[in-house]
């Protein structure tokens, strides 16, 4: 028995790893979970290293309570990657490891036994001679079968061999001759289903050919492919090639719920080795998928952002689909970018030799385009939509136009013509509910949210006023709560109101609304989409849910009710997001044999970026937007880190961030500028006041070395206990 000192990362928001004593023959390896005394309680931590001497005085050093795993849950490469991530995002290692583990394992529960439920002979059972069991032939048969199969069999196999035998097994168990166990999964076969993919187009072939030679090491590809150009087929070919070599594949998608067909396509084409990892899974299912990925039983993991933190045996390829999607950024706790970490993970794969990473999108982020321009990513393009023409975009100037439910005469007529031709029309508005505000015309009262600096949205079907930021609800009043007048009016448009207007204008035309309210029940999105795909002349109304990934071949006209919100957002990325959304919605149109048209209503038809987008498409927009970013010295031409603070008392966040700003000035790093503190764009949200301090630098290294020195001082700052604060490295939403 040997005394060893372990470094343990505990899942608490503290930047330190803690030393513990353990007395065993062989100390638990890094990556093993241990239960440790922590403060007054007991916590689950992960061994991250061994030390020669403890960093604290002997009296303080406590002993490990239980070693929870026989083998490490994180191998050395995985652990080193997560350490890198903790370091880059300046986030406590314990919490990063916690984010990487399925909940049950994070809480210190025993890992689920893997493999099929089955039965094995006990020592007593093994010494029984079946020949002496003539009075119990069924029991003898079971014992004989188990003996023949090295003492253990899956329940399914036993049933197959001997028919139903549960009572027999129960009897044997009572005698202590057999016991339940887990039978190892059959070793993962390399057998993939026969290739049944379609013939590749010339562009697809060239893209695959460009990437194929890179599978031996790190290489990053930006695969820019318009909607419907067949990016998925390219992913499938690459994945297959990597799987055949015995390596595994990680596929990241924005939201699995919105892309069930992508998941199905991977499963159908690559078979049983596919595991799906997303938040909709039950804890146990999640843990099983996680363990299968770790052990190599699942060789292709398709998952949402947290999958990038998970285990992968012998990683050979990383794919990030719709890489521009903001949902790859975790917006609380450990605020990482799954897309950025995917690139890092690929670079560090296979003991540092690396593997390729493919970032795919019809509308790449400006960050990725800039990386491509700088030669860090290889830029590949798929221009053509097999068998279809790109939709045309046009602006509709609605200044001084009479509007009916927010829609101009031109848009309504275009919809009418589309329906008359037997086609479908899609009306897009990124605002659910009936109307964004209820107003009193008599005294000017507005449906303010009591807890946020925002209006409560009117939901007419439920008769509720509902804040979309904090979830606060109340019954919509009939009379003005302030002056009592019967003069309340819904102002502005939401998808519900749009639906009502269109129903009145086009009676008898089937109308489908797709937004979060209409698809709350599980499976209802798919059902609505199936109705949309099956029908003839019909109208679809929806929010951005409708913009993502669904094939709607009968839609030939898309109307965008209001694009202006995206032009002047508080966030400098507002225009980029608006353009991405517009192009994604446009991608719904004209996928059959008919050309699609997109009509975009605006009060700013001369807005330069909007004009560029409509005339030159996304590439032209991106070039112009990048030029603006360069001129303004904004990302990707600068690097940011954002301190956020919130508190119930209005002045606390600002006071705290003043302190942080003062500390940054003391550290005298000329390359880093500090902006603020400023009130957050919505200063009051859910009853808390919020403020920001933005740090910005031309290069990453000065920013990160500043943060490294700054953070201990920030944690020690007097006001840090009065506020909830966090650091967001590479923030994407400054909200």
Residues that bind DNA (CB under 7 A): 12-14, 16, 18-21, 36-41, 54-56, 60-62, 718, 721-722, 724
Q: How far is the CB of 44 from DNA (least distance, A)?
A: 13
Measure CA of the first residue to CA of the last residue in the chain; give whole Å: 55
Instruction: Closer to DNA by CB, 13 or 180: give it.
Output: 13
The DSSP secondary structure of 101-131, one letter per residue, reads S-HHHHTTPPPPPPSEEEEEE-HHHHTS-GG
Instruction: Closer to DNA by CB, 407 or 657: give it.
Output: 657
- Nearest-5° Cα angle at 531, 525 to 534: 135
Q: How far is the CB of 450 from DNA (least distance, A)?
A: 20
Determine the Cα–Cα distance for residues 364 and 282; give it in Å rounded to an integer.
Answer: 33
Q: How far is the CB of 692 from DNA (least distance, A)?
A: 18
Instruction: Closer to DNA by CB, 36 or 252: give it.
Output: 36
Residue closest to 320 by CA, chosen among 357, 266, 363: 357
Residues near 159 by Cβ (< 8 Å), separated by ≥ 6? 165
Q: Which residues on neighbouring strands pair with residue 511, listed in sequence order?
A: 539
Q: How far is the CB of 63 from DNA (least distance, A)?
A: 7
Residue closest to 589 by CA, chosen among 615, 552, 561, 559: 552
Strands 116-121 and 152-154: antiparallel
Q: How far is the CB of 49 from DNA (least distance, A)?
A: 12
Q: How far is the CB of 62 from DNA (least distance, A)?
A: 4
Determine the Cα–Cα distance for residues 623 and 574; give it in Å rounded to an integer.
Answer: 16
Instruction: Closer to DNA by CB, 15 or 592: give it.
Output: 15
Strands 18-24 and 2-10: antiparallel
Instruction: Closer to DNA by CB, 376 or 721: give it.
Output: 721
Q: Which residues on neighbouring strands pair with residue 513, listed in sequence order?
A: 541
Q: Which residues on neighbouring strands pair with residue 117, listed in sequence order?
A: 182
Count CA atoms closer than 13 A to 386's CA, side-chain side. 12
Instruction: Closer to DNA by CB, 9 or 488: give it.
Output: 9
Instruction: Closer to DNA by CB, 19 or 423: give it.
Output: 19
Q: How far is the CB of 17 from DNA (least distance, A)?
A: 8
Burial of 375 (0-12, 13-18, 19+ CB in 10 A): exposed
Instruction: Closer to DNA by CB, 57 or 196: give it.
Output: 57
Distance of CA 337 to the CA centre of its chain: 9
* Neighbour count for residue 455 (Cβ, 10 Å): 21
Q: How far is the CB of 328 from DNA (least distance, A)?
A: 25
Determine the Cα–Cα distance for residues 31 and 73; give it in Å rounded to an integer.
Answer: 5
Determine the Cα–Cα distance for residues 572 and 628; give it in Å rounded to an integer.
Answer: 10
Residues shown for the chain? 735
Residue closest to 79 by CA, chosen among 108, 47, 103: 47
Which ranges of 596-644 does DSSP label H, i.e. alpha helix? 608-632
Q: How far is the CB of 395 from DNA (least distance, A)?
A: 48
Q: Which two tokens stand for residue 630?
A: 């360069």
Strands of the 33-38 sheet, one edge to the other: 62-63, 18-24, 2-10, 41-51, 33-38, 66-67
Q: How far is the CB of 724 from DNA (least distance, A)?
A: 6
Instruction: Closer to DNA by CB, 55 or 117: give it.
Output: 55
Rg of the chain on CA atoms, in Å: 30
Instruction: Closer to DNA by CB, 19 or 325: give it.
Output: 19
| DSSP state letter for 197 | P
Which ranges of 564-672 does DSSP label H, i.e. alpha helix? 574-586, 608-632, 652-667
Q: How far is the CB of 86 from DNA (least distance, A)?
A: 16
Instruction: Closer to DNA by CB, 62 or 149: give it.
Output: 62
Distance of CA 705 to the CA centre of its chain: 29
Instruction: Closer to DNA by CB, 12 or 241: give it.
Output: 12
Q: How far is the CB of 23 from DNA (least distance, A)?
A: 13
Residue closest to 22 by CA, chosen among 281, 45, 671, 13: 45
Q: How far is the CB of 113 from DNA (least distance, A)?
A: 29
Q: How far is the CB of 645 from DNA (least distance, A)?
A: 12
Instruction: Closer to DNA by CB, 29 or 61: give it.
Output: 61
Instruction: Closer to DNA by CB, 36 or 439: give it.
Output: 36
Determine the Cα–Cα distance for residues 416 and 393; give it in Å rounded to an integer.
Answer: 18
């Amino acid at each position: 028995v040997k005394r060893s000192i372990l470094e343990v990362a505990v899942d608490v928001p503290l930047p330190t790893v803690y030393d513990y004593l353990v007395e065993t023959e062989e100390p638990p390896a890094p990556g093993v979970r241990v239960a440790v005394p922590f403060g007054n309680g007991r916590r689950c931590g992960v061994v991250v290293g061994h030390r020669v001497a403890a960093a604290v005085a002997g009296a303080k050093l406590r002993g490990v309570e239980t070693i929870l795993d026989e083998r490490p849950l994180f191998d050395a490469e995985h652990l080193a990657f997560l350490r890198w991530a903790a370091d880059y995002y300046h986030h406590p290692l314990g919490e990063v490891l916690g984010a990487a583990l399925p909940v049950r394992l994070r809480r210190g529960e025993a890992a689920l036994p893997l493999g099929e439920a089955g039965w094995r002979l006990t020592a007593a059972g093994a010494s029984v001679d079946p020949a002496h069991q003539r009075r119990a032939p069924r029991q003898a048969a079971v014992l004989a079968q188990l003996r023949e199969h090295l003492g253990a069999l899956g329940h399914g196999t036993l049933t197959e061999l001997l028919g139903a035998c549960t009572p027999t097994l129960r009897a044997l168990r009572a005698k202590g001759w057999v016991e339940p166990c887990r039978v190892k999964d059959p070793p993962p076969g390399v057998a993939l289903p026969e290739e049944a993919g379609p013939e590749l187009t010339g562009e697809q072939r060239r893209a695959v050919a460009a990437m194929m030679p890179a599978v031996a090491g790190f290489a990053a590809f930006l695969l820019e492919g318009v909607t419907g150009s067949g990016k998925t087929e390219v992913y499938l070919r690459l994945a297959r090639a990597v799987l055949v070599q015995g390596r595994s594949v990680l596929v990241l998608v924005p939201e699995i719920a919105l892309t069930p067909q992508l998941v199905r396509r991977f499963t159908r084409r690559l078979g049983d080795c596919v595991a799906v990892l997303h938040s909709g899974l039950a804890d146990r299912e999640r843990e099983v998928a996680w363990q299968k990925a770790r052990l190599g039983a699942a060789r292709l993991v398709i998952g949402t952002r947290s999958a990038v933190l998970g285990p992968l045996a012998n990683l050979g390829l990383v794919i990030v689909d719709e890489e521009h999607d903001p949902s790859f950024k975790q917006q609380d706790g450990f605020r990482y970018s799954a897309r950025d970490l995917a690139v890092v993970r690929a670079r560090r794969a296979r003991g540092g030799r690396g593997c390729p990473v493919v970032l795919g999108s019809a509308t790449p982020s400006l960050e990725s385009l800039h990386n491509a321009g700088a030669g860090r990513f290889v830029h590949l393009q798929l221009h053509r939509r097999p068998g279809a023409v790109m939709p045309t975009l046009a602006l509709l100037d609605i200044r001084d136009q009479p509007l009916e439910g927010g829609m101009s005469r031109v848009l309504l007529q275009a919809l009418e013509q589309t329906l008359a031709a037997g086609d479908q029309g899609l009306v897009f508005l990124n605002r659910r509910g009936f109307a964004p505000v209820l107003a009193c015309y008599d005294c000017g009262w507005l449906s303010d949210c009591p807890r946020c600096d925002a209006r409560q949205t009117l939901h007419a079907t439920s008769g509720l006023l509902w804040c979309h930021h904090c979830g606060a609800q109340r019954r919509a009043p009939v009379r003005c709560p302030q002056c009592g007048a019967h003069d309340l009016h819904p102002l502005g448009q939401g998808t519900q109101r749009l639906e009502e207007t269109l129903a009145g204008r086009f009676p008898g035309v089937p109308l489908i609304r797709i937004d979060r309210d209409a698809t709350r029940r599980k499976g209802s999105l798919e059902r609505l989409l199936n109705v949309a795909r099956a029908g003839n002349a019909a109208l679809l109304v929806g929010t951005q849910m409708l913009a993502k990934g669904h094939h709607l071949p009968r839609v030939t006209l898309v109307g965008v009710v209001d694009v202006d919100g995206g032009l002047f957002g508080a966030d400098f990325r507002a225009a980029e997001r608006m353009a991405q959304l517009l192009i994604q919605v446009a991608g719904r149109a004209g996928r059959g044999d008919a050309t699609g048209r997109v009509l975009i209503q605006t009060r700013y038809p001369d807005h330069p970026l909007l004009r560029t987008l409509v005339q030159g498409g996304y590439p032209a927009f991106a070039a112009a937007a990048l030029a603006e970013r360069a001129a303004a010295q904004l990302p990707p031409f600068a690097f940011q880190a954002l301190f956020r603070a919130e508190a119930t008392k209005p002045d606390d966040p600002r006071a705290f961030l003043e302190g942080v700003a003062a500390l940054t000035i003391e550290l005298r790093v000329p390359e880093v500028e500090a902006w603020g503190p400023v009130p957050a764009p919505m200063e009051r949200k859910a009853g808390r006041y919020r403020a920001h301090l933005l740090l910005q630098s031309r290069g990453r290294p000065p920013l990160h070395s500043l943060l490294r020195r700054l953070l201990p001082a920030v944690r020690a700052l007097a006001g840090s206990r009065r506020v909830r604060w966090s650091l967001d490295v590479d923030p994407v939403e400054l909200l």
